[in-house]
């Protein structure tokens, strides 16, 4: 019996090779794996070149790609013709393949990686051997994961693998190769776009390869009768999927959904900002010179809804902010960093889940939404917007203070479910309405939530106002200025209503629906 071993990750390979050698396998290997087994392990092992009679060439790019190797892997043992052909050409069968691949994902994840570096780390021989062995799994066992060395070695030494074992290992090998190929595909597609200046292209590909690895199991999904788990793209998870839990109970499906909404909201602002989120919508949001002040004003936006919410800060959480949070029950807090003393304060809350998240951009290339029988795909809602380019539609232009609040409210509305209405004042959320079947109900809800704080606030609407009644209701609530996309067939009526109430209104020309 012969085993062919060629691994980049050499974890456990010496111990496993020793085990299978004791079980009667003759070891064949390549390059670095051969050195590890012979020099570190002291094991008798042949170079592939000895078996094929051909040297490695092109700096090791060609070593296993040879009929002697693939004949030994692909020959059907139940085919007299295949076996006779092997004998005619002096080829021995190979019964076990142990391979893992060059670190392509790890390579492209490094800062400053070049295209040449990436191409050099695209494995050719490894995937080919894995596919050949897995195709012929009834006769050839294939092992790709060092975590499987223990039980595979034990079984090979004690009677051999079952058909189910072999089939499972083959499926794992094909999955490993397909994941690897998907990473290469995605990288080259993005690189091609960058090289040709297509980053802002609205064109979506004709096909998408989506590969996700399970990061963690969850207690359940949205409800206890649903299963749930967290998956992420191959490599080191980023964004919410890569957040590090520093304290607290196990995260749930809903915790992660809300924490992601909170982080996306807070991190979209340049100034020190805190978002308090409940059921995927911000009930509190504020920007201030320091993070503790931002928290206090965010909390005051809706002290009732804040209970049991998720808090996200786009700056290091300070002692002052942690102390301000103490009286309120929250499910999750998330920030890039924590002052050591602030962390100690927060950790006194036994059940509070404390997350740290890297501040690198984490917007996905595509936004994916499942529907029955398919997936809707769109580019992410990330565009550069300059409030100085907004068009004043009314007779009165916004004051500087109003304009600052309008810019804040407009960004906030982008993160609130449609039909989204935001009341804001002093760079803080005063009230909001979300997810309603018509916009006037969202204005009502914002007014009810804000109460007296509505007076002197500005209003942002994620889409145009179809009727003037929205403007009239906003004016009654005490709104002084409005930002909206514009573009309704009744814009003239809406503008006239704003002028009649003495409101300032600007059009952005951009819509930010979030369903």
- Catalytic site positions: 135, 279
Extract the tokens encoding 208.
């998408």
Using a 10 angstrom Cβ sphere, with 0-12 exposed, 13-18 middle and 19 or more buried, the burial of residue 335 is buried
Which three-class secondary structure string do you get for 372-432? Answer: CCEEEEEECCCCCCCHHHCEECCCECCCHHHHHHHHHHHHHHHCCCCCCEEEECCCEEEEE
Residue recorded with tokens 């009341």 = 423
Using an 8 Å Cβ cutoff, are 284 and 276 in contact? yes
Maximum Cα–Cα distance across the chain = 97
> Is residue 447 classed as helix, strand or coil in its secondary structure?
helix
> Is residue 444 classed as helix, strand or coil in its secondary structure?
helix
Residues β-bridged to residue 438 = none
Residues with Cβ within 8 Å of 186's Cβ and at least 6 positions away in sequence, in order, are 209
Residue recorded with tokens 């096909």 = 207
Extract the tokens encoding 86.
């092997």
Residues with Cβ within 8 Å of 227's Cβ and at least 6 positions away in sequence, in order, are 220, 221
CA angle (365, 281, 290) in 5-degree steps: 90
What residue spans of 148-231 are helical by DSSP H? 149-156, 163-195
> Is residue 34 classed as helix, strand or coil in its secondary structure?
helix
Pairing of the two strands 96-100 and 2-7:
parallel
Torsion (CA) 278, 405, 482, 200 in degrees, nearest 10? -80
Q: At 234, which helix (H) or strand (E)? A: none
Instruction: Name the phi and psi angles at 232, rounded to 5.
Output: -145, 165
CA gap 334, 353 in Å, rounded: 8
Pairing of the two strands 96-100 and 141-143:
parallel
User: What is the CA 304 to chain-centroid distance, rounded?
Assistant: 32
Using an 8 Å Cβ cutoff, are 48 and 67 in contact? no
What beta strand segments (E) does 252-407 contain? 272-278, 281-288, 309-313, 330-335, 353-356, 366-371, 374-379, 391-392
Pairing of the two strands 45-47 and 26-29:
parallel
Using an 8 Å Cβ cutoff, are 47 and 54 in contact? no
Extract the tokens encoding 474.
């906003």
């Amino acid at each position: 019996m012969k085993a062919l071993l060629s691994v980049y990750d050499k974890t456990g390979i010496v111990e496993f090779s020793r085990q299978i050698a004791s079980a009667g396998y003759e070891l064949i290997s390549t390059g670095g794996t051969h050195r590890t087994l012979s020099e570190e392990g002291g094991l008798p092992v042949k170079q592939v070149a000895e078996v094929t009679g051909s040297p490695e060439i092109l700096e090791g790019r060609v070593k296993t790609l040879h009929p002697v190797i693939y004949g030994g892997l692909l020959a059907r043992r139940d085919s007299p013709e295949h076996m006779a052909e092997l004998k005619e050409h002096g080829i021995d069968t190979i019964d076990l393949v142990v391979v893992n691949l060059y670190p392509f994902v790890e390579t492209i994840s490094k800062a400053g990686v070049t295209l040449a570096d990436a191409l050099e780390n695209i494995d050719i021989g490894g995937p080919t051997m894995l596919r050949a062995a897995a195709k012929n799994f009834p006769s050839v066992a294939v092992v790709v994961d060092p975590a499987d060395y223990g039980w595979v070695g034990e079984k090979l030494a004690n009677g051999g693998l079952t058909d189910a074992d072999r089939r499972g290992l083959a499926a794992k090998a094909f999955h490993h190769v397909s994941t690897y190929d998907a990473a290469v595909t995605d990288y080259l597609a993005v690189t091609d776009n960058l090289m040709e200046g297509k980053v802002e292209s609205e064109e979506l590909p004709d096909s998408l390869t989506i590969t996700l690895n399970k990061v963690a199991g969850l207690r359940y999904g949205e409800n206890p009768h649903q299963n749930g788990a967290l998956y992420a793209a191959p490599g080191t998870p980023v964004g919410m999927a890569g957040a590090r839990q520093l304290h607290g109970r196990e995260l749930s499906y809903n915790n992660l959904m809300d924490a992601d909404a909170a982080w996306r909201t807070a991190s979209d602002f340049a100034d020190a900002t805190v978002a308090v989120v409940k059921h995927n919508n911000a009930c509190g949001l504020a920007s201030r010179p320091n993070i503790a002040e931002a928290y206090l004003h965010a909390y005051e936006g809706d002290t009732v809804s804040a209970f049991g919410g998720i808090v996200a800060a786009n700056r290091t959480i300070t002692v002052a902010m942690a102390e301000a949070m103490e009286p309120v029950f929250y499910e999750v807090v998330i920030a890039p960093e924590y002052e050591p003393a602030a962390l100690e304060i927060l950790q006194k809350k036994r059940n509070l889940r404390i997350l740290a998240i890297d501040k690198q951009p984490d917007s996905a290339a595509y936004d994916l939404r499942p529907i029955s029988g398919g997936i809707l795909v769109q580019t992410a809602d990330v565009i550069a917007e300059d409030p100085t380019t907004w068009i004043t539609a009314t007779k009165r232009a916004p004051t500087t203070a109003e304009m600052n609040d309008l810019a804040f409210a407009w960004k906030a509305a982008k993160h609130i479910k449609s039909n989204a209405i935001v009341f804001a004042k002093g760079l803080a959320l005063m009230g909001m309405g979300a997810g309603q079947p018509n916009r006037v109900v969202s204005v009502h809800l914002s007014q009810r939530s804000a109460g007296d704080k509505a007076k002197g606030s500005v209003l942002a609407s994620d889409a145009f106002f179809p009727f003037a009644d929205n403007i009239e209701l906003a004016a009654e609530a005490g709104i002084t200025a409005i930002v909206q996309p514009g573009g309704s067939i009744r814009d003239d009526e809406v503008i006239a209503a704003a002028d009649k109430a003495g409101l300032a209104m600007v059009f952005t020309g951009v819509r930010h629906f979030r369903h």
